[in-house]
Amino acid sequence: MKRVSILGATGSIGTSTLDLIERDGDGFQIVAVTANCDVERLAALAIRTRAELAVVADETCLSALRDALQGTGIEAGGGSEAVLDAARRDCDWTMSAIVGCAGLRPTLAAIERGGTVVIANKEPLVSAGEVILAAARQSGATLLPADSEHNAIFQCFDAQRPGTVRRIILTASGGPFRQWTAERMRDVTPEQAVAHPNWSMGAKISVDSATLMNKGLELIEAARLFPVPGERIEIVVHPQSVIHSMVEYVDGSILAQLGPSDMRVPIAHTLAWPERMATPMQPLDFVGIGRFDFEEPDPQRFPALRLARQALEAGGARPAILNAANEIAVAAFLERRIGFLEIAAIVADTLDCHDPPAPDDVDAVLAIDGEARRIAAARVKDCVA
Ligand code: NDP
């Protein structure tokens, strides 16, 4: 029986992960589950799955969690240290699915513990890629990508012969505004931005998909996870979201991974790896799909892509600044404090006025992240004023 923990268990990825685990029945034992403050959902899933430990990151929610778990025998914890303890608790497999850089320390704690750590939470890898990879090398933890594109690349990439790879082709759906003019995007509402045409996801990543910042973060994520230089990672828009990414070899062969646009497919791959497990997904209906389209992404209408590529090329602190400013701008957009087009503008401004040296440990990353958040938040205030 695999002992598994889920960081961010109440979110979209957490829910998909639990769905697979609960369908499987006997193959998994849930060790720790965490949330920020959704006590009702966390307590319900902890009780349902007979978890050993449930933790809320927001300490003010701990007493409600204790009440909800009273008499169940499930331990309750609250606060950021308790999340780290949950991440360190002995288990074989951890899903890292907290949203944003809030997941950095918990992901690192899981990696330092060892075992298999599945990365859905891409922001820490963007901001602190070197630190995370060094921690994995030191502890011997196995990192597996849950992001559908990176999981696709992982399935196609010949890790024994990286020199035979000519390029990685990351596919992008193009998001809900793929065919919109910049003028029309000016008045986009949060409801429109989170309504992704192909995927059902949490609010932050849905907005990132609409600005294409998600693809920019994924570009950096791919450069961290696979030994291929950034200039050989290309992005192509594929609106059907059936081909999840491709790897091209020097002989011209291209391997692609295809599947339904449901995160349970890549998550199942990581849950069973190196074996396979069944999922409830219907087989792909190729005739029904009919055709695969490809387009070049437009960096004029979607400047986030350009900013992310520049941050990857410059390296150092740039990816952490890009990510932190984006987190602040997306939150402000979801709160209706700024417009949709201001998200990328705030990220660009923050990158312009913050240029610290490259971080060499997690504290340095978090200091850069904190300062970038402060600058971006001031810029949000300017927009509102
Ligand atoms: P959700 O917003 O649906 O869920 C986020 C989870 O993180 C919830 O459990 C939430 O708890 C918890 N959380 C939020 N803030 C904090 C905090 N400060 N400290 C600790 N926990 C916190 O996000 P998603 O599931 O959509 O995404 C999770 C990660 O996976 C993101 O990094 C995203 O980019 C990545 N990802 C998501 C995909 C998807 O299909 N959804 C696809 C590929 C990658 P609570 O419910 O209490 O707020």
Say how far apart CA 302 and CA 344 lie, in whole Å: 8
pLDDT confidence tier of residue 196, bands split at 50, 70 and 90: confident
When pLDDT is averaged across residues 330-342 and rounded to a whole number, the result is 97
Which helix (H) or strand (E) segment is 363 a member of? helix 362-384
Q: How far is CA 203 from CA 119, 192, 306, 338, 351, in A?
A: 18, 11, 23, 16, 24
C-alpha 68, offset from chain centre: 29
What stretch of H or E contains 134?
A: helix 129-139
DSSP 99: -
Same domain assignment for residues 210 and 110? no
Contact 113, 137 (CB under 8 A): no
Q: How far is the CA of 202 from the centre of ligand 1 (A)?
A: 6
| Separation of CA 292 and ligand 1 centre (Å) | 30
Do 331 and 191 belong together in one domain?
no
| The dihedral sign for the CA sequence 2, 6, 9, 13 | negative
What's the confidence (pLDDT) of residue 316?
98
Expressed in angstroms and rounded, the spacing between residue 51 Cα and the centre of ligand 1 is 19
pLDDT tens-place string over residues 264-278: 999 999 999 999 999
Task: Establish whether residue 98 lines the binding site of ligand 1, counting it when its CB lies within 6 angstroms of any ligand atom.
Answer: yes
What confidence tier does 200 reach under pLDDT thresholds 50, 70, 90?
confident
In this structure, are 362 and 243 located in the same domain? no
Compute, in angstroms, the gap from residue 312 CA to the centroid of ligand 1.
Answer: 24
Task: For ligand 1, pick from 34, 96, 205 the residue to mutate: most ligand atoms within 8 Å of CB.
Answer: 205
In this structure, the residue with its CA closest to atom 2 of ligand 1 is 202
The pLDDT of residue 372 is above 90: yes
User: 125 CA distance to ligand 1 centroid (A)?
Assistant: 15
Q: What is the pTM of this model?
A: 0.98
Q: Which two tokens stand for residue 46?
A: 């902890």
Shared domain for 251 and 304, answered yes or no, is yes
Give the closest residue (by CA) to ligand 1 atom 27: 99
CATH number at residue 384: 1.10.1740.10
Same domain, 60 and 155: no
Whether 42 and 60 have beta carbons less than 8 Å apart is answered as no
Which residues lie closer than 8 Å to 192 by C-beta, 6 or more apart?
176, 210
Q: Residue range 312-317: average pLDDT?
A: 98
Same domain, 26 and 137: yes
Alpha carbon distance 48, 22 (integer Å): 9
Q: What is the dihedral of CA 282, 286, 288, 294, to 10 degrees?
A: 120
pLDDT recorded at residue 199: 84
Same domain (yes/no): 65, 165: no
In this structure, which residue's CA is closest to atom 7 in ligand 1? 98
Residue 165 tokens read as 């790879």
Domain edge (last residue) among 145, 174, 190: 145
Structural domain of 210: 146-312
Query: Does 10 sit in the ligand 1 pocket, CB within 6 Å?
Result: yes
Which pLDDT belongs to residue 130? 96
One domain for residues 163 and 48: no
Question: Does ligand 1 have an atom closer than 6 angstroms to the CB of 101?
Answer: no
271 and 197 both lie in a single domain: yes
175-185 mean pLDDT: 97
209-252 pLDDT, tens digit per residue, is 999 999 999 999 999 999 999 999 999 999 999 999 999 999 99
- Select from 101, 123, 145 the last residue of a domain: 145
pLDDT in tens, 297-307: 999 999 999 99
Pair (24, 105) in one structural domain = yes
Query: Is the CB of 264 inside a 6 Å radius of any atom of ligand 1?
Result: no
* Residue 330 in contact with ligand 1 by CB distance below 6 A: no
Residues 255 and 164 in one domain: yes
Supply 45's token pair.
Answer: 């899933």
Task: Provide the number of structural domains found in the chain.
Answer: 3
Looking at the structure, do residues 109 and 170 belong to the same domain, yes or no?
no
pLDDT above 80: residue 385: no
3-state secondary structure of 117: strand
Q: How confident is the model at residue 25 (pLDDT cuts 50, 70, 90)?
A: confident
**What's the confidence (pLDDT) of residue 364?**
98
Q: Which of 115, 145, 175 is the last residue of a domain?
A: 145
Residues 147 and 154 sit within 8 Å (Cβ to Cβ):
no
Centre of ligand 1 from the C-alpha of residue 368, in Å: 22
Q: Is the CB of 11 within 6 Å of ligand 1?
A: yes
CATH classification of the domain holding 41: 3.40.50.720
- What pLDDT does residue 172 have? 98
